[in-house]
């Protein structure tokens, strides 16, 4: 079995909307994936279905080659850390860690407590008295210390400041290097994590609009800025994904790498070339997907 997760034609319909529409993709072992997209795009629904916490309307879903529902062979190797995770009211931080140890067979206790020190968590404090940031830290610690073969983080850093987030990335990379496994990071802080990702999946409006190697994506789009007419001229025939204008200036973003010829031409036209970050790319593609849908609806 090569693929940790295999999803074919996955669809989830609620009474008044289609949350996930005909999504297909596969996740390989020992890679860090980014599952990106706007809020409400369907990412969380997909993750809930992968972990058997929600049920598909149609389509096939296999994790470790089997259906995950009520399947301990699969479920015991899954760890899903969501930002909305609820904990029993009377539990303290140390209680969550103790119980997590019994739920996750690969749990590393030493690692967990080292992380507790790193994030400076008060072990004896009740979960409902934790700040939003500390609550997220608990989730991160459970996610990392579980060493589950498929670990999914859904917006794991609500309330964490930049220093704590950087700490998370550091610990994640360190442990991932020593204990390879499949990690899925779902976030809207795309640029921050873009260097960590090996592969990028973008969901928009319930559909998969991008499924690419992260390194391949870099440089696949460019932004050209300059006098409006000249910029438009340069952009003719290119696959435009975003336009902006301010007075006589225009900024056009399009798909496609710029070679030396292009650069020279741009320079001659007095245009500036700017790179497109992963975050910008995802935002533009999402908006475009939205625009297409509205056009079709009309």
Partner 1 sequence: MDDSRPIFVQIAERIENDIIDGAMPEESQVPSTNQFAAFYQINPATAAKGVNLLVDQGILYKRRGIGMFVASGAKARLMEQRKEHFYEQYVVTMISEAKKLGITVDQLTDMIRRGENRP
Partner 2 sequence: MNRISSVVRMHLKDRLGWFMLPWIILGSSFVVNLGIAAFVEEPITTGGLASIYIYMLVGGIVSLVQTYPFAIGFTVRRQDYLIGTLATMTGISVYSAIVLVLLGAIEKETSWGVDLSFFHLNYLSDGNLLAQWWVHFGIMLSMLVGGFFISSIHRKFGKNGMFAFFIAVSLILSVAIFIVSANDGWDAIGRWLKDHPPTAAELSAGMLLLSVIFGFASHLLLRKAAV
- Contact residues toward partner 2 (CB under 8 A) are 48, 51-55, 70-72, 75-76, 78-80, 82, 85-91, 95, 98-100, 102-105, 142
If binding is defined by CB under 8 A, does position 28 make contact with partner 1? Answer: no
For partner 2, the closer CB: 63 or 250: 63
For partner 1, the closer CB: 161 or 170: 170
Sheet holding 18-28, edge to edge: 18-28, 3-13, 58-63
Name the binder of 291 from partner 1, partner 2, none, CB < 5-8 A by kind: none
Vertex 219 angle, CA 257 and 289, to 5°: 90
In 3D, which of 45, 55, 59 has the Cα closest to residue 6?
59
For partner 2, the closer CB: 84 or 120: 84
User: Which residue stretch of 35-43, 111-119, 214-222, 236-244 sits at the interface with partner 1 (rule: CB under 8 A)?
Assistant: 214-222
Name the binder of 64 from partner 1, partner 2, none, CB < 5-8 A by kind: none
In 3D, which of 114, 161, 153, 108 has the Cα closest to residue 134?
161
Using CB under 8 A, which of 11, 76, 265, 277 touches partner 1?
Answer: 277
Give whole-number Cα distances, 170 to 86, 164, 198, in Å: 26, 10, 16
For partner 1, the closer CB: 215 or 244: 215
For partner 1, the closer CB: 66 or 215: 215
Query: What is the number of residues in the chain?
Result: 298
Are 98 and 66 a contacting pair, CB within 8 Å? no
Give whole-number Cα distances, 101 to 6, 78, 104, 148, in Å: 28, 14, 6, 12
Are 55 and 10 a contacting pair, CB within 8 Å? no
User: Which residue stretch of 2-10, 59-67, 139-147, 195-203 sits at the interface with partner 1 (rule: CB under 8 A)?
Assistant: 195-203
List helix spans (H) across the chain.
43-50, 72-75, 93-103, 109-118, 132-145, 162-178, 190-193, 214-217, 228-235, 260-268, 278-297
Closest CB 126 distance from partner 2, rounded Å? 10
If binding is defined by CB under 8 A, does position 267 make contact with partner 1? Answer: no
If binding is defined by CB under 8 A, does position 166 make contact with partner 1? Answer: yes
Give whole-number Cα distances, 157 to 32, 55, 287, in Å: 17, 26, 25
Kindly identify the residues of this chain, within the stretch 69-128, that bind partner 1 according to CB under 8 A: none
Which residues does residue 134 pair with via DSSP β-bridges, in sequence order?
none
Closest CB 281 distance from partner 1, rounded Å? 9
Name the binder of 219 from partner 2, partner 1, none, CB < 5-8 A by kind: partner 1
Q: How many CA atoms lie within 13 A of 131 on its CB side?
A: 10
User: Which residue stretch of 44-52, 128-136, 151-159, 272-280 sits at the interface with partner 1 (rule: CB under 8 A)?
Assistant: 272-280
Using CB under 8 A, which of 41, 47, 130, 278 touches partner 1?
Answer: 278
Closest CB 50 distance from partner 1, rounded Å? 22
Give the C-alpha separation, 227 to 246, whole Å: 10
- Which residues contact partner 1 by CB under 8 A? 31-32, 166, 169-170, 173-174, 176-178, 195-198, 214-216, 218-219, 222, 275-278
């Amino acid at each position: 079995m090569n693929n940790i997760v295999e999803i074919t034609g996955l669809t989830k319909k609620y009474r008044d909307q289609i949350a996930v529409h005909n999504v297909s993709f596969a996740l390989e072992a020992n890679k860090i994936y980014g599952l990106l997209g706007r809020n409400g795009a369907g990412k969380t629904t997909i993750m809930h279905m992968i972990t058997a916490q929600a049920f598909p309307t149609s389509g096939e879903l296999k994790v470790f080659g089997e259906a995950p529902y009520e399947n301990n062979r699969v479920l015991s190797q899954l760890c899903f850390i969501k930002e909305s995770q609820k904990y029993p009211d009377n539990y303290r931080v140390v209680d969550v860690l103790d119980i997590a140890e019994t739920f996750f067979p690969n749990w590393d206790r030493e690692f967990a407590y080292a992380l507790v020190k790193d994030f400076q968590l008060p072990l004896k404090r009740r979960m409902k008295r934790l700040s939003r940031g500390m609550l997220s830290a608990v989730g991160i610690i459970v996610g990392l210390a579980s060493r589950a073969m498929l670990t999914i983080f859904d917006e794991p850093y609500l309330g964490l400041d930049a220093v704590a987030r950087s700490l998370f990335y550091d610990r994640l990379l360190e442990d991932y290097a020593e204990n390879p496994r499949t990690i899925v990071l779902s976030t809207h802080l795309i640029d921050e994590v873009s260097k960590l990702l090996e592969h990028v999946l973008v969901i928009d409006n319930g559909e998969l609009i991008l499924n690419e190697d992260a390194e391949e994506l870099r440089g696949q789009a460019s932004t050209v800025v300059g006098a409006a007419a000249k910029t438009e001229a340069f952009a003719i025939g290119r696959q435009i994904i975003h336009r902006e204008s301010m007075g006589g200036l225009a900024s056009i973003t399009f798909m496609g790498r710029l070679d030396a010829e292009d650069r020279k031409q741009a320079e001659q036209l007095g245009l500036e070339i700017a790179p497109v970050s992963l975050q910008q790319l995802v935002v533009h593609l999402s908006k475009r997907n939205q625009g297409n849908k509205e056009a079709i609806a009309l």
